[in-house]
Amino acid sequence: MRSIAETAAAVRAGTLSARALAEETLAALATDTHVAVTRVLHERARAEADAVDAMVAAGRDPGPLAGVPYGVKDLFDLTGLPTTAGSTLYADALPAATDAEAVARFKAAGAVCMATLNMDEFAYGFATINAAYGTTRNPHDPSRLAGGSSGGSAAMVAAGLLAFTLGSDTNGSIRVPASLCGLYGLKPTHGDLPLAGVFPFAESFDDIGPFTRSIAEMSLVWQVLGGREPAGRGDFRVACLGGRFRENAEADQLAAIDAIAPDAPLVELPEIARARSAAFIITACEGGALHREALAASAMAFDPQVRDRLIAGALLPDTLYEEAQAFRAEYRARIETLVADYDVLLAPATPTFAPSIADPRIAIDGALSPARADLGIHTQPITFTGLPSLAVPLYRPGALPIGVQLIGGPGRESDLFAFAAKLEAQGIIGFSMPLGAAQGASA
């Protein structure tokens, strides 16, 4: 399987045609069965690939992602297309006048945008169960969920059909599907990566980030998005999150965390339940306010499960929202002080493996709970702090994937990449291609 860097190098050298690579990928996407693609971008992909090949022929460097095929969650603006955010409500909206800033940066780096990808409607869920576009299937076991809300983005990378993808993470919507699909998925420091041209969910928490199959690829894509070189340290002060983070987790996750840092102290974040409740309130209020007008005009056009949660959020009193935001500001300051002595914090990414599509529930505190709401039990409190968090896959060939979170200080993504590279070299973490998965454009 070629890496992103190897693919780009071959295209720049002229030994691999970006157009041929695009045609191969378009053909594979047209027959994919993971219910992960909402639109295949035939004309755009061919035009971008041809532009890359023309630059190579002219002796110019197309960029570090030359010819590399990728896709975006269906809430990024793409010139000439309506931005649907996974909803039929906006299927006939006015087309975007320009690309989202993140997409523009990838285009400038030579990447070729192939498709828009399935998601929970308006990114409200952890499962990618979409009433209009269907439920995305996990490439490791098509009878199981891919996670969400960026499930389509995760599934296409895990299946080997796209080299990398873009998702968004409000309360865990990148890290959850990364864990369930066995990928690397980044939620950056809040506000660190460009959100211009991204359909919002809850502004207080929204971030964008990539999915990749290796930490080197993650670092490369992050550099293009963020415009700076990684500069991680060599020695790491590591701690493990205790308390609620040791509950509702798989034995394999806890064993891996303990093996990674056997002498690390356990750090317990205070008031986790209150933090998660406040996150739910802020998310619900901001989501409800954003869609209030559309709900009043066309409530029945919404996915029923999303509609009911948005209506509930729209009805919450302003005083409750203000109280939750005040608590968040105070809480973030406390957590940043608490974790200042450490470079990396370890925690589970999801409480369990990918649940069944037929029965999308998971065990939380001994009782069954909807996966759509509670797969983010370990990611949501981290989002609340605004800290960067990288989901990394435990290396488990032939088994269902599951991941852990590497959490760092504000603006310290480079530390997370460097620490992940160390774990990857030791064989503790790493991507495993699903049995029988298609070998896609970067293979």
CA distance 20 to 434: 25
What is the CB-side half-sphere exposure of residue 396 using CA atoms within 13 A?
19
Structure confidence by residue, pLDDT tens digits, 17-64: 999 999 999 999 999 999 999 999 999 999 999 999 999 999 999 999
Using one digit for the tens of pLDDT, what is the confidence trace for 163-207? 999 999 999 999 999 999 999 999 999 999 999 999 999 999 999
Distance CA 365, CA 434 (A): 30
Q: Could you tell me the CATH number of the domain that includes residue 161?
A: 3.90.1300.10
* Cβ–Cβ under 8 Å, residues 123 and 147: no
Q: Is residue 225 over pLDDT 70? A: yes
Range of the domain at 332: 1-443
Could you give the residue numbers annotated as active site? 73, 149, 173
Distance CA 134, CA 118 (A): 8
Determine the Cα angle at 161 with ends 159 and 163, to 5°: 105
SS3 content of the chain, % helix, strand, coil (to 5): 40, 20, 40
For 283-330, what is each residue's pLDDT tens digit? 999 999 999 999 999 999 999 989 999 999 999 999 999 999 999 999
pLDDT at res. 228: 82
- In 273-431, the DSSP E strands lie at 344-348, 361-364, 367-370, 389-393, 403-407
The first and second tokens of residue 211, run together, are 């999915």
Q: Is the pTM of this model over 0.85?
A: yes
- To which residue do tokens 């997409």 refer? 103
Number of independent structural domains in the chain? 1
If phi over 0 gives left and psi between -120 and 50 gives alpha, with beta otherwise, what is residue 336? alpha
